[in-house]
Structure formats: structure tokens, C-alpha cells
Structure 1
Amino acid sequence: MISRRAAATAALRASVRRACSSSSRAADPDDQLLGLLEAPEPQRGPRLSSKDFAFLQVPTPVLHAAALPPPEAVLISKAIRAYASDFDGKAERFLRRHRDFLNDAVVVAVLRSVRTPELCVRFFLWAERQVGYSHTGACYNALAEVLHFDDRARTTERLLREIGEDDREVLGRLLNVIVRKCCRHGAWAKALEELGRLKDFGYRPSGATYNALVQVLATAGQMDMGFRVQKEMSELGFCTDKFTVGCFAQALCKEGRWSDALVMIEREDFKLDTVLCTQMISGLMEASLFDEAISFLHRMRCNSCIPNVVTYRTLLAGFLKKKQLGWCKRIISMMMNEGCNPNPSLFNSLVHSYCNARDYPYAYKLLNRMAGCGCPPGYVVYNIFIGSICSGEELPSPDLLALAEKVYEEMLASSCVLNKVNTANFARCLCGMGKFDKAFQIIKLMMRKGFVPDTSTYSKVITFLCEAMKVEKAFLLFQEMKSVGVIPDVYTYTILIDSFCKVGLIEQARSWFDEMESVGCSPSVVTYTALLHAYLKTKQVPQASDIFHRMVDAGCAPNTITYSALVDGLCKAGESQKACEVYAKMIGTSDNVGSDFYFEGEHTDSIAPNVVTYGALIDGLCKAHKVVDAQELLDVMSSNGCEPNHIIYDALIDGFCKVGKLDNAQEVFFRMSKCGYLPTVHTYTSLIDAMFKDRRLDLAIKVLSQMLESSCTPNVVTYTAMIDGLCRIGECQKALKLLSMMEKRGCNPNVVTYTSLIDGLGKSGKVDMSLQLFTQMITQGCAPNYVTYRVLINHCCAAGLLDEAHSLLSEMKQTYWPKYVQGYCSVVQGFSKKFIASLGLLEELESHGMVSIAPVYGLLIDSFSKAGRLEKALELHKEMMEVSSSLNITSKDTYTSLIQALCLASQLEKAFELYSEITRKGVVPELSAFICLIKGLIKVNKWNEALQLCYSMCDEGVNWQSNNSFDGG
């Protein structure tokens, strides 16, 4: 025992002396100051040439052909605008010369290009009069868009009457299109207004118009109005189509009026079939009428209607939504016995629900059944299962952890990965059970698959990081030393303090520091420097100042490494000005360094900075965008005989690139080459990234060619910079081709690469391709993070894909992303501040101080409200309040959007419920919300209540604006 302890102590002392007396040879550059001296080994891979990137230069007009309007449309649009004052003369003469090219695509393109209502109407009427041409539905829709027929504005009667005077048939078609357009937008009240306008002009609605009205009224829950419209269309000889009957029957069942639905189906001369029964079952499930829904399932069999997979999935989704897990098991058994299977999304939701109910055996049973049902388990369901077991504050039981390990092995066999949060939680649980080696293996394996450990991760797995990157062995050795009466010396304490500081456990490191002083073990300059550097890196400047004063008072003279640590730590804490003051005092050129900072005491003689000191300060100045000061410091460094290394040049080049000074960056690049330093992949990447962002593609290609000629292989950061740059200039197809190339070259894209491309595709209107790329990303084993989900949800909402956006939100929650994550930088690691700002997320993250899913809820609620899907919006609002209750988050904009939508839908009672809810929280709603509530009260002749609400507005200090009125809202 004694010999083993002595050997271990000797080994520790030797390793500490080597670490303290030499530059850091195997440490992360962020933690080891001397890491600035050496560059990592260049990445080796297949040899590339400039020919491989030739497609970046070659124009590919075919890629954009579909997005460009026909040439004839461009000419006609320009002529109409040019001859706007003489349409009957010069404009028509020009149009007659080009009428041979007239078709619906040209007409639609011209209408969308001209946009002026009067000119569009005149062109539309002229085109209709041309022999051999007739407007299609797309043309009418385009004209309706130009005339602003939506829920925000109204068009004057003059234009409509002008159309009617020229061609009554055209006006009739247009008015029918307008009604159907309002229905598609969910604006049932506006649709009824436009129906009245249509009748006032003496036209009869078409059958398609009536069916659209019945559908939108059913969706909005206006059943009585729907019956009246249905009766009217029947009297005019129009038949309700099967789709409309199904929508109406589902809406009636949703209100519990299933008998009325049956009568309506019989009256419309339809027979119950699988589709109609499934729709009615869906409505009954939403109304929580479970027994009636099951009875309809039996009724289907009696009527020889065989339930299909959609029927069972509808039942299963309904029971799952209402958390009726017992019913779910019965339905799963029934459907699988009949050869019907849940889809992957439903399987994910089922596993999630049973995991939440802690029924892990059944959840695992479902997991095993997925492959046999044609949908093998993937990224989402594995993260659901393992995250559920390991995400709790308390450690799982040994049996449960064994089950999680078993599922983890199956996950690896399926080439899937855990996300960052679940990786850390799983490793923490393994360490809690004493499985240190396996936890370490998991971290290393996930790192190879793109997982980047951070401070919080290290905090959870502290027992396997220290000596040789395994803290637990050093900690256990330290405990054993004290338990057997062996007093640790300064080297033992120093290695523990240094290692625990590097994993973010500064309080534990500080307790050992205090302990070593209390037992008479004097800290060395290395001990002080390790703790001082750790405090500064975490922006705890007062604590760092205290350590420095204690160091000076103890007679321990700071050395160059200490001052370099001060400079580096202050720069990392964003205190570049104080870092400059430390440097000035260090070289003896300043007597004033702040008010009470580090230089009180005796040991204040000037000390010559080394390459690490200069490198840390230059890097900090560049990150603070003080590149001119950084360049001046480079000149001073050279004049003092301290030769800059390639990492310093890289930092300065990157700094100039970040502020858009490409010419200065190139000057530093040439200076670096003259000094005999070969540019690294980081050098080239900084230049290429800046050139792509500056849209100087020609220069970027030249730098790329030079990079390849010097046998410097692009890495994932280089490819990502090019992909992001191509997306910024709208070259998404080239970006996709570049993504394919990097994969073929063995360079796996990371989450930043995929997110940049997903955002670029979304901004160019290719949301479907964004969704496909998101799926590909997961399939390739790259776990999405908060930014990826947020970007994709934004684009889905903008494109009207609200169900897909809601599904993404559910998936993000199911994979155990936390409600909020302190220190959002760890979650969005790898993304530059500028990129986060370009997505519109920087202000959101900084205002919350965390990653929050509440803004995502707000976006979805607003989108569903504008689409007229108020029940879904209210459901999301309720869910958001439950999720955000612990954070005390109240979104005034979300409440205002919901209140306005409910008022427009004549649901005043629900609107006032939300009004009461927000005022109880001490938040005053927006003025527009008050106006909508007052208008709603006036509409139902509740004048006294409207006046009371006006008085309450004055009491609550709502500011009136001169441009607001009850008419304009």
C-alpha cells in the first residue's frame, strides 16, 4: 500500500513539474495559454484541385429558369407602366403586337409585376377580349391578390363596376374567386360579406363557392350558419360534395351533435363509408366522447365498412392527446391484429407518453415493434427513450439504467446519435453508478460523431477528467492520500486545482486552494495563475483581483505566465481595455491602471511580454473589433524582437475579415508569407468566408485555388463558410452541390453547415427542400440544435406550413431539450454572433439570457390565429403557459394576437377570458386589443360594457394614438 502510494505521488509530482516548467503540449488552446505556439496537424484527405470547384464560377441559368417570369411578361409589364397615362393608345398598340404570346402564365406574371390595381384591371379586361385566349383560375386568383381581397383591406366598388360594365361574366367569375379565396384564408366573416356583394351585383354563387363556404364555417365552428348556407345551396339545386359533408360531419361530432351529423349525411344522400366514419370518429375524439367513438367503430363493421389504418391512427392519436394510455394499448392491439400500424410520428408520441408515465417496459416493447412495422427507430425516438430515463434530477434505478444502456447499443447499431443534452445526462447517470470508463467512452464516441463537450458537460462528468483527462482517478487518489494520513504537497493541490478549473468547478478548486493555505502548504505561482485564469475566463473579475492581491501579499512574484494569463483571461471576459492596461503596466509604460485593479503591492517591476502575451492581446483586440490597435501591437511586437507566429497572423487576418477590411487582411497574409509561415486551413477559411460574405466570389475562387495548390485541404469550417456565402447570394443549388462534394470527400457536415443551408433554402422559398435536408441531417447522424429547429419553424410558419411547424416544436420538446438552458452559448455553440443575428435570434437570446421555446410558441400561435385555426392557437397558448409557468413569461404580443382573432371570430367570451388572464398578471394589453374588444361589444349591443372597458383603459394608462380609431383598428 505504501509503495503504491509513494509511486503514485512521485508520478504526480513529475507530471506537475513537467506541466509547470514547459509549454502545454496536449491541451485545448482555449485553456492552455501556450497553445498559441503550435498549430494542429493539418487534416489529411483526398487531394483536391481547383477543377473540383469549377462549378462555383460557371453560371448555371437553368437553375433559376423556373423562378424567372417569361420574357414577354417582362416586356409587357414595362410597357404598361411606361404608357400608364395612355393605356387605350400606346399601351394597347404595344399589347396588340405581342398578343400572339398571350397565355395564362404571361397574364399571371404581368399582374404580379405591375401590381397597380387600375392598370391590372385594364390589362385583364383587354386580355379577355383577345381571340383564342380565355382566363384560367390562376389568372383570376392573381387579379384578386392584386386587388387586395383578403382580411386586411377592401377594394373600391369602382373597379368592380368597371369590370362588370366591360364583361359581366368575368365579374361573376371574379366575385366567386374572391369568396373562395376568403374561405381558404379562414376568414369566414369576410367570405360572407363578399357573398353578399356577389348577390348585390346580381350574380348567383357557384357550387364550388357554396362548398367552400360550408367548409370554412364548419372549421370555424359556425354550425348554424353552415346549415343555412347548405339549405340555400340545396334550394338553388347545388349538391354538397363528399369532402364538404365529411368536414361538416366532423365539426358536428366535435360539438357532440353526432346524431345531427347522421341526419345530414342521410339527407345529402350519402352512405356511411370508411372515410366518413373516420371523420366522425375524429370529431368525437376531439370532444372526448370516447365511448361514442368506439361505438362508431363497431357501427362501421355492422355497415360493412372496414376500419383502415387512418381510422385506427385517428383513434390512437385522439386517445393519446387526451392521455388515455389504457385505451391506447387496446387500440394498438386491435390495429396491429388487423395489419394496420402507427406511423413513425405516432410511434414517437406513444413512446414519449409511456415514458412520461414511467411505463418503460411497454415503451420499449413499442420501440422493438417499430422495425417490424416498416418504420425502424430513429434519432427522435431513441433520444425520447434514453432522455426520459436519464433526464431526472435523481439517478435512475440500476434496472432502468441497464435498459437505457441496452437501447443505447441498439441506437449505435442503427447509426443514430444522442443530442448534447441527453449525452451529458446519460454520462452523468453512468458516473453515478460507478461506470466511469463507459461514460468516458460515450463522450469520446459522441465527439467523433460531432458532439462538442462544454463546461456544463464537464461539470456533470467530473469524475473522469483530471490526470490523463480522468478527473475521478485524481480525485480518488487525493481522498486516499488524506484518508491514510499522507499530506498532499503543493504539486498535488496544484494539479487538482488546475484540472478542476479547466472543467469549470472553480468553487471546488477554490476550496482546495483555501485548504492548502490553512494546512500551511504555500501555493506556487502556477497555483495562483491557474485559479486567476479560471476566474477571469468566467468573468469573475472581483474574485480574480482578490487572488492577485493575495498572491502579491504572500510574496509570490507574478511572472510572464501570470501576466499572460491576466491578459488572456481579461480578453476572454470581454475586458480588452483592462487587458491593454495590464500590458501597459507590465512593460512599465503606465502608472495608472484603473481604480483599484491588480497592481498594488511591491512586485511591479516591468516584465518583458512573450509571444503568448502578445498573441492573447492581439486575439482579444481582434475579437473586440479593435483591429487597428491589434495591427499596431503586431508592429511593436516585431520591433521588440519578439517574432509573431502563424497563430497571431491568423488571428489578425480573421479580425480584419470579420470587420470587412479584406485589403488589410490580404496585406497581413502577404506579410505572413514573407516571414516564412505557410497559411493554414484557418487562414484560408477566414479569407474565403469574408470574400463570400462580401459577394466577391472571384477572389474567393482564387484563394481557394491557392489553398488547393499548397496542398491545404478544406475542412468542415471552410466548406461551411462557402455554403453559407452561397446561400447569402441565393445560390442554394450550388450550395447543395458543395454539400454533396464535401461528403464524398469524407468531410462530414456539422450542425452549422446544415443549419446555414436550411436557412438559405428557406429564405429562397424552398421550404420543402429545407425539410428534406433536415431529415437528411438526422439520417446522417448529425443532431439538430435549438438554432436549427428555430430557423426551420420560422420558415414553415412563413410558408403557411403550420402543421409541420407544430410537429417540429413537438419533436424539439420530445427529444428533451430543456425549457430553458442557462448560458445559451453552450446550446448554440459553433454559430457566430453575426449568423445568430442574421436569423433574428440574437436579441431574443440576450433578452432571455437563455434558450427559451416560449418565442417559438408565440410565433406558432400568431400564425394559427391569422389562419383562422383558433382552437389550435388556444391549445398552443395553454400549453405555452404550462411550459413557461416556472419562468413567469407573459407575451403581450401573443395575447393581443389571440384577442384580436377571437373578436373577429365573434368569440367574445374567450377573448375576455384572455383579457382577464393577462390583466391578472399585471400586464396592460395593447391598444389594438382594447379596440377589438370594444368593437365586439358594440356589435352585440353591449354599450354599457364597452363604455366600462373604455374607462378601464384610461385607468390603466393606455396611450391613445392619433392615427387609431374604431374604424381603422
Structure 2
Amino acid sequence: MRDLVIVFGSSAITNPHHHHLRCYATAPEPNRKTKSNSSLTKIFPSLPQQHSASPAPVSAAPSLSSHFSNVVRWIPDGSVEYYADFASKLAEDGRIEDVALIAETLAAESGANVARFASMVDSDLLSKGISLNLRQGKIESVVYTLKRLEKVGIAPLDLVDESSLRLMRKLFRAMANSVQVEKAIDLMEILAGFGFKIKDLVDPFDVVKICVDVCNPQLAIRYACLLPHTEILLCRIIHGFGKKGDMVSVMTTYEACKQILDTPNMYIYRTMIDVCGLCGDYVKSRYIYEDLLKEKIKPNIYVMNSLMNVNSQDLGYTLEVYKNMQKLDVTADMTSYNILLKTCCLAGRVDLAQDIYKEAKRMESSGLLKLDAFTYCTIIKVFADAKMWKWALKVKDDMKYVGVTPNTHTWSSLISACANAGLVEQANHLFEEMLASGCEPNSQCFNILLHACVEACQYDRAFRLFQSWKGSTVKEALHADDIVSKGGNPIPNKLKNHGPGSLVNSNTSPFIQASNKFFFKPTTATYNILLKACGTDYYRGKKLIDEMKSLGLEPNQITWSTLIDMCGNSGDVEGAVRILRTMHLAGTRPDVVAYTTAIKICAENKSLKLAFSLFEEMRRYQIKPNWVTYNTLLKARSKYGSLLEVRQCLAIYQDMRKSGYKPNDHFLKELIEEWCEGVIQENSQRQDKISDQVGDEKVVGRPVSLLIEKVATHLQERTAGNFAIDLQGLTKVEARLVVLAVLRMIKEDYMRGDVVIDDVLIILGTSEAKSDSGNPEIAVKEVLVKLLKDELSLVVLPAGQRAIKKDVHYVDDENQYPEHTSANTRRPAILERLIVTKASLYQWLQRKK
């Protein structure tokens, strides 16, 4: 094989110094034709292109020749002008990575010529090559090539024209909306170093949202630092994670803010406090405020207002913050007073709300404040909740005096104030006044009026209003209702839809004409209110359910619970349970109210087995019972008939106490006493209270729950017929009760086929606990012996005594030792025990059979 010398014509190379370059190529195949062309890519069609995402390293001198080794072996003795022209031709064909490689190789060989090379490369052709790559979607290749060119002195900003910038925006937006958001931020960090305006490439809020969605606060912070208004984006990041409830990411961003920003930013502090309220972590909001004070930073009014608003559930702390505002010389604004009124409303402090309202009015008269509709609406709501309707109407007069027009929420609060006080007529009058003022009512106003009628047991009136509003004008409904309320008969055609002008004549007032445009749009809450007005009429309630479904409204948990209660009022237990099952099938998960309502219906109709099965079902669905649920089940029985029933109620009692609810211990104790007395009653003895049989006994400060827990322990934790009754710490009455409970359990187990296989051991306690402090002459032991021997004819023997080694049972015995013996000498306490023999128990069970 021999070498072939290729000589370029003058048309191929425009560089005047082209004769300094010699190329040696491998001889072609015999059938291969070699053709010269003005384009270098046609001369070297197999010249490789780089597609690597990462920038190529700056190589040594031989790198360029090795890059082209597949086609040509270079002898780099050409001029800078030639290299610039060659690079321009490559750029024109879109091979910008090769341009960067030539520049890097030239910089490695002769750094002095790089500046000349950068100035001589055709920037228009290079821009054209960049645009070509961007049209092919090679954004990553373009960015890393720009980085390489920037190192050799070629300014990237000069190479990206407007069309290329538009292509960049399109590609970056596509990356930001996919899983490539991290790669997009990496590239934007590089472009930011070149001076590109990053905010023009993609919507910053979109990038932040995606970073929040992927739970990557570090990535979001990196992007925020690329933009001029970093603090705004940081607040957006904090708020985004706060809406997700991700306090870990919130705190990560907050700590980064303190490192990034040179000066404290009140907007970030306010956002942090608001997010703490959003996540329900009001304690952390207080820590942020305390940190500000420790660093001698004076918070502004917006930070203070946010802090009071987040802690509005705590009246004391909110008032303390308000006092600190005055100490820090931070002037309260209208928002401050609105938050204080809201706090008083939540706390039910009408007196304090009145004082704050008077203070706000005083400042308004001084020209320092201007009370808004929200202020008046809040103070009206305070009076409405307290049923102080006269005060609420007085506030309405104050609004008119200062020229503030009541809005829909204000009118709703006024109507609610009268409705809560049971003043249906007054609420109706306010509704008419609202329409006369030109204020359009919402569904809440209608629902408040309906609720007022239902609470006042004016069920027919509620349905008349509903039917009239649903198909007629508001004024028609009010007028028709007034006719009936005055004792007249309702006019049928007036209660139907006759169009906007059915009741309007030449004498109609402008207010009535204006009201014709308002039509009632029922909500789910509307139908829930009307369901309560159905009483025991299940079919009417079912018709309402069907009607609301036809309007596209779905029944909620309140709807189903009300329907269940409706069945219960009519005594239909099966219907109530059927509705509960239908609730499951309809896709609505029953809550504790629905189950409790059904359980209450079963208990009231003596379907106790079904009630307890519903309780177990709600536990399987992990629905936590409330106090009403537990109390309903515990009071379901007036007496216990079997051991199973006692165990059921004791289990519910213990579960209730573990859940933090306080049960009625005395009620349960009386039932257990009655059940235990069954052992005595079957022996033909009269039924008396146990406490009467053993004498009056009052133990001050002793909770009844200790006795019930003791009974529960012995009735639920027995082991294979072996009984050991621990009576330590119990009084005479309690000890007798526990023993009778165990005997009743033995008797019922025997009737089911269980055999007594051992004696019953009764542990009385240490010897010093023989007598009871309430009646020292009658020991617990004597009471039990009398019960077992005399009343039940059982054989009771003292068990073998043994010394108790534990220190807690050691007692002093000064009479045991001579006087010269130390008084601190102690001996082991003796644990007294009784045994009820197995044989006597068997005979007793035979007699009871």
C-alpha cells in the first residue's frame, strides 16, 4: 500500500496560507472515487462528531491529530487564520463540538494565538451551528460546548441569537415538566455563569412546583439562587412544602435562607410563621418569633399579625403578642384588630371582644383606622354565637352610620344571630332587608333560614320555603310564607314557578322587582337540614335523597347519619342497619357518628347483640369510638344475664378508660353487684345490697374504677380452671364482691361443661391488713369466711403460711423482741391465704344445678 498526496485547489480553501498544510491519506479502494468539493465535510465525510453530554477535556497537542486519525494525519503548521476559517466551516455544518476541540488544541499548543482565533472565527456561522443543534434538541451538547468556548475567550452570549433563545426556552420548558428537572437546573447554572437571564428561559414558579412535588428542597434552593429575586422564590418554596405538610423540607429551606441572605427578610419570617399554622405546628412559630427577638431584630406588623393569626386558638398568647407590639412600637393596623376579634370569637369571650371593638372605634374616630366589613362581620359573629342578637343589630346600625355597606357574609351573620336565638320572624325580616339593599344572598343565607325553621320545629314552613325557592323567586317564597304564617291558606299557584314577574304588578316596590332575579341553588347542607324536618317519615327522606342525587349532589356522612336516625325514630332497626350497609356500597365511609347512631338505635330497641356486633365492626374498620359510643353500650343493659355479657361490658369499660374517656363507674358497679348477688339469690336468700349485708362502709378517696378493674382481671384472665383470687388492698365490700364474681363465673363455666380441677386460693394480704380501718372489729377474713361457710356452705381452710422475702412486705414488730433490741429490727410479713376445697365446690355446684 502506498501513500496518496491530496492537493487542495484554490476553490477548496479560501485561506491564502493553505500551502502550509499537507494532508496524507490512505489510498482508497480501486473502485473508490475521490472527489474534491468546497465543503470540508464532503472532502472528509467520515469526520467523527461528538455526542457526549460532558465537556471534552482540554487535550495536549496531539489531540487534534488523534481526533481526525480515521481520515487524515495532520501536520499542524497552518496559520491561525486557516484554523479560524476551518472552524467556521465546521460550525456552519453544525459541528460545534469540533470547533471547541480545535480551539482547545490551539490553546494547548500556543496560548498566545487563542485570542486571535476567537476574534477571527465567524460568529454568524457559529451562531448558525448552535441554532442547528438546538433545532435537533441537543440542548445539553450546546450548553457544554458554550462552556468550552467560553474558556478560550469566545463569549457565549454573542453566539445565541433571538431564534436560538426561543429554541432554548422551548427545550428547557420540556425538561422542567419532566423527570429531567435536575438536569435542566444543572444546565441553567452553567448558563447563569455566562450572564444569561434564567428567568426568561422557563417560568420560575413551574420549576419550584416540580422541585416541591419531587420533595427535593436542595434542588429548589439551587434554582432560586440563580434568579435576581431569590427571597421571593425561597418564600414560594417554603409555602409549597408547607402545603404538603413537609416540615422537614420547610426547615431545610429556612436554614438555607439564613445562610444565603445577608440581611433578615421579614417576608420569609412571615411565610415561615404562616406555614407553621398551615401545618398545625404553632409552637414552632413561637420559636421563630423568639429567635427574632434574641437577635435584636424588630419584626414588622405583617410578621406580628401572622403570629397572632397562627396562635388565634390561644387567647392568652395572642394578647401577649399584642402587648409586645405596643412595647416594640409596632403600630397595629385593621388586620390586627380583626385577628383579635377572631381570637375572642374562638374563645367565646364576648366581653373582651366588646372592649376591642370599642378601642377600634375610638381609633377610627381619631382617624388612625378605618373599620372594614370584615371587622363588623367578625364582631357580629361573636354576638351571634353568644345569642346576643340585639347587640348584633346594633353593630349593623354602626355600619350604616359610618357608611360601610354590609356584604353577604355580614347579612348571613346577622340572620344567624336571630336564628340562633330562635327568632324565625326576625331572621326572615333581615333576609328581606338584605334583598332590599341589593345584596345577593348565597346558599348559606337560605340554609340558615331553613335551619332556624327546623330548630323552631316549624317543619312545614321549612318545606314551603324550600319548594318556593327551588322553583320560584325569592320574594315569591317569602310572600307565600307570610300568607300562611298569618293564618291564611297558601295559594297553590303562588308556590309554583310562574316566571320572574308572577307576583309583580304596578304597585310592586323596586326592592321586590330587584329580588326576582335571585333563585335558590340547594346544596348538600340544604338537604341535610330538610332531612331533620322529616321526623319519622322515612319515605319522605328517601325522596329527598333521590332528588339531591338528580341534581348532582352526593350524600355525605351527615346525610346518611340523619337517615339512620330517622329509621331509629320509627323503631326500624333493620332499616337503620340496612342504610349503614348502603352507605358502604355508595362509596361513603361511615364515620363514628353513623356507627354510634346505629348502635344507639339497636340499644334503644333491645337489639343488644346487634349493637355489640356493630361495635366490633367499627373497630375492624379502625374507626375510633367516642364517649357517646362507649356510654351507649355500657348503659345498654339494665342487668346482666350471663358471664359473656359481663365480660363484654368490662372489655368496653377498660377500652374506654384506655382511650382517655371517663366512664360512669357507679352505674357499672351497681350492675356488677346485681349480677354477683345472683349467687346468693339462687340459694333462696333475699336480694339486698351487698353493702347492706356487710355494714356501711365508706372509703374516702377510693375510686370505684379500682374495684371494676379487679373484677375485670379475674373474669377475663383466668387460666384453665385454676383460680387464685387476689384481694390485697380491697375493702370488705369489694373483697366480697370479687369473690362472688369469681364464684358466679365458676358456676356458669360448670354449666357449659367445664370441670373444677383444683381448689380456689384466696389471697387476703399481709397480716397487718387483717382488719379494716372503716370497721376494725370485722376483718375482711371474717366477712369472707361468713360468706363462704354460712351463706354458701363451702369448706374454707387456712392455707399454709409462708414468709414473704420482699422488702415491701417487711413490718416492724416491737412486741416480738426484748426492749434492749433495736426498734428498727424487722421480720418477714406473713401473707394470709384461704382455700376453698374442690370437693365442696363440686357439691355446691351440684346443689345449684
Give the alignment's TM-score, normalised by structure 2: 0.38
Question: Who wins on radius of gyration, i.e. which is larger?
Answer: 2
Give the alignment's TM-score, normalised by structure 1: 0.34
